[in-house]
Amino acid sequence: MINLNQSNNSVSISSVRLKSLFWFNLGKNWYKFSRNKLSVLGLAIVVGIILSAIFALWITPYPEHAGPFVDFDNTGQPPSLQHFCGTDNMGRDIFSRIIFAFRGALIMAVVVLALAVPPGVFLGLVAGYFQNTWIDSVIMRITDIFISVPPLILALAIAAMLKPNLMNAMIAVTVMWWPWYTRLVYGMASSVRNEYFVVATDLMGASKFHIIFREILPNCLSPVFTKMALDVGWVILIGASLSFVGLGEQPPIPALGQMVSDGSRYMPNFWWMTIFPALAIVFAILGFNLMGDGIRDMFEKGAE
Amino acid sequence: MKLGSFLLKRLLFSIFVIFGLSIVIFVIARVVPGDPARMALGPRAPEEVVQRLRQEMYLDKTLPVQYFYWISGVFSGDFGRSLVTKRLVVEDIKEYLPATMELAIFAGILMAVFAVLLGALAARYKDKWVDNLIRAVSYFGVAIPAFVAAIFFMLLFGYRWPILPVLGRLSPGIASPVKITGLLTLDSLIQGNLVAFWDAFKHLILPSLALSLGGLFQEARITRSAMVDNMRKDFLSAERGYGVPEKVIMFKYLLKPSLIPTASVMGLDFASLFGNAFLVETIFNWPGISRYGISAMLNKDLSVISPVIIVFGIIFVVVNIIVDIIVAFLDPRVRLSTSRGI
C-alpha cells in the first residue's frame, strides 16, 4: 500500500512540475528566445505566414485565382501594382496563389509531424527501456534500415507509387520521418533509464507503463520539441521538392513546388512565374529555421 | 578495437541494412494498390497478355516467393528489365551511375572545401564583419532547397549572364572521351583531351554548386561553432604558453578536433545530396541515375525503382563507412576505444 501511494505521489509531482516549468518560466523562456533578434524575426515570419494562410480568402487580392480560373487577356503580366508578383500562363495572380499555397505547405508540416513524432517517440522509449534485449535490437535495426536511404529518395518513391496528391505526399514523408525521432529518443531514454530516480521507482514497484511514460518520457521531451521546431522547415522543403516533380497537390490547386516547376518552363522571359514562388519557399523555410534556432536556445540546458 | 575488425563489423552491419532495405522496398512496391503488370502494359492491353507478364514477374506467387525470385536475381547481378523501356536495368544503371557519381563527388569536394574554409574564417574573425557576413549568408544558404538554387543559377548564369552551360554534360560539338571510368572530366584528363575536360568541367559547376549549397552552409556553421567552442579550451592556452606558433595552433590543434562534428554531418549531407540530385539532374538535364530514377518513378516503373533505391542504399552505407574511418582518424578517442560497438 505504501509503495502504491508513493508512486502516486511521484506521478502528481512530475506532471505538475512539467506544467509549471513551462508556464512559470514563460518570462525567462521568452527572454532566452528573444535574446537572438533573428529568432524574433523568424517568429514574425512564421506568424505572418500562418495568419496569411488562414485568412487567405480575405487578404489576397484575387482569391478566386487559387483554383480553376483562366483569364487569357492577362496571361504573363509582369509584376505591377495590380499583380504584385505578376500573373502566370493562365492569367492568374501569382501573389494570391502563393498565399494559398502556404496552406498546403503548413498542413503538410503539421500533419507529418503529428503523425510521425508520436510513434517515433514511442518506439524510441520502448527500445530505450528494454535496452540490450531483443525488443531493442528489432526496433533499432528497423530504424537503421529506414535511415539507410536519404529521406527524399524513399519519399519520392513511395509518393510515386501512390496516386499523386497532397494526402499521399504526406503519407510518403511521414513514413520516412519517424525513425529520426526513434533514434533521438532512444539515445536519451537509454541513458535516463539507468538514472537513480528511475531505478528507485522501479524498486518501489511502479509499472513499466508508469516508468516509461511518467518518468522517462518527460525527460526526453525538450530535445523532441526542439527537433520538431527545426523539422518544420525540412518538411516544407521536402514537400516542395515532391510537388516540384508533380507528386504533391495537383493543379489547379496551387502548391509552391508545382508553381516553380510550371513557371520554369517559361524561363527566362517570364522569370516572375518562377522566382516569386521560389522566393516564397526560401522565405518560409528561413522563417521556420530561425524560429527553430530560437526554440533550441530556449530549451538548451545551460544556455545562459 | 583494431581498424580491421571495426571495418568487418561495419561491413556485416551494412549488408544487413541493405538486405533489410530490399525487403522494405519490395513490400512497399507490392502493397501499393494497382497491378504492376497491368500498369506496365497500359489499360488497353488484352487480359491474356497481362496474365502472361504476371507469370513472368511471378506476380501469381505468394509474396515471400516473389521476393525470393527477385532477391536471387539481384544477387546474380540481374535486376530484370524495365517495364516501360524493356531495357536491362543493370545496363541502364551502369550507363547512368558514373554521371551522378561525377556530379556528387564534385559537389562533395565543393562542400568540404568551402564549408571548412568559411567555417574557419568565421571562427578566426569571430564577431567581426567577415563572421557576420558568413553567418548571414549561411542562414539563406541552408534555407534554399537544391532545386530552387538550381533554378536561380540557371536563370542568372545561364540566361541573364550566359557564362556557363546549363544543360547536359558536354556541349554538342565536343566529342565525348572514350569511356574508362565514365567520369567525363577524369576520362578526358587521362586521355589528355583538354578541350573536352574544360567543357565537361564547365558543365559540372552549376549543378554541383546547386547540390552542395545547403550542406555547405550547414557544415560551415557547425565548423564555426566547434572551433569557437574549442578556442576556449585550456589546452590551447597551454600551447600558447609553451610558445607554439599561432599557425600551428590554428591548423594542428584547433582545426583538426573541430572537424569531428563536421565530418559526421558531412557524411549525412553527402548522402542527402544524392536525394537532391533527383531534382537537380532533372533541371539541368544531367543524364545521371537520379534523372533515370525519377522518370521511372513518374512512370511507376516498379522494376526500375527498387534497384535504383538499393543502389543509393549501397552508396549510403559505403559513404558512412568512409565517414567512420575519417572520424576515427580525426578523433583518437574513437580510434583507441575498445568498447565502442557499431
Q: What percent of chain B has pLDDT over 90?
A: 17
Interface of A with B (CB under 8 A): 38, 141-142, 144-146, 148-154, 156-158, 160-162, 233, 237, 240-241, 244-246, 257, 260, 264, 267-268, 271, 274-275, 278, 281-282, 285-286, 289-290
- How confident is the model at residue A5, as a pLDDT? 39
- How confident is the model at residue A122, as a pLDDT? 95
Q: Do B74 and B30 touch, CB atoms closer than 8 A? A: no
In angstroms, the CA A239 to CA A247 distance is 9
- Assess whether pLDDT exceeds 50 at residue A234: yes
Check residue B88 and report its DSSP letter. B
- How confident is the model at residue B79, as a pLDDT? 77
Residues B162-209 pLDDT 10s: 888 888 888 877 777 777 777 888 888 888 888 888 888 889 999 999
- How confident is the model at residue A281, as a pLDDT? 94
Q: pTM score, two decimals?
A: 0.85
- Span B138-160, average pLDDT: 89
The pLDDT confidence band at residue A1, using thresholds 50, 70 and 90, is very low
The pLDDT confidence band at residue B338, using thresholds 50, 70 and 90, is very low
Q: How far is B17 from chain A (nearest CA, A)?
A: 5
- Chain B nearest-CA residue for A234: B143
Helix (H) or strand (E) holding A52: helix A37-54
Q: Name the residue among B32, B154, B158 with its Cβ closest to that of A161.
A: B32
Q: What is the DSSP string of B8-69?
A: HHHHHHHHHHHHHHHHHHHHHHHHSSS-HHHHHH-TTS-HHHHHHHHHHTTTTS-HHHHHHH
Q: How far is A235 from chain B (nearest CA, A)?
A: 11
Question: Testing the interface with A: which of B100, B148, B155 to mutate, by most A Cβ within 10 A?
Answer: B148
Residues B316-337 pLDDT 10s: 888 888 888 888 777 777 665 5
Check residue B177 and report its DSSP letter. P
- How confident is the model at residue B6, as a pLDDT? 78
- Assess whether pLDDT exceeds 90 at residue A110: yes
The pLDDT confidence band at residue B341, using thresholds 50, 70 and 90, is very low
Residues A235-256 pLDDT 10s: 999 999 999 988 888 888 899 9
Q: Do A91 and A62 touch, CB atoms closer than 8 A? A: no
In angstroms, the CA B3 to CA B321 distance is 11
The pLDDT confidence band at residue B30, using thresholds 50, 70 and 90, is confident
Query: Alpha carbon A37 to chain centroid distance?
Result: 22
- Chain A nearest-CA residue for B155: A268
Query: Alpha carbon B46 to chain centroid distance?
Result: 42
**Do B16 and A141 lie within an 8 Å CB cutoff?**
yes
Residues B4-26 pLDDT 10s: 787 888 888 888 888 888 888 88
**Do A278 and B159 lie within an 8 Å CB cutoff?**
no
- Assess whether pLDDT exceeds 70 at residue B2: no
Q: What is the DSSP string of B119-175?
A: HHHHHHTTTSHHHHHHHHHHHHHHHS-HHHHHHHHIIIIIIIS--S--SSSS-TTSP
Region of poorest pLDDT, from A176-180, A244-248, B28-32, B191-195: B28-32
| Stronger pLDDT, B81 or B278, i.e. the higher one | B278
- Span B131-152, average pLDDT: 90
- B276 Cβ under 8 Å from any chain A Cβ: yes
**Do B305 and A160 lie within an 8 Å CB cutoff?**
yes
Confidence check on the interface: ipTM exceeds 0.85, yes or no = no
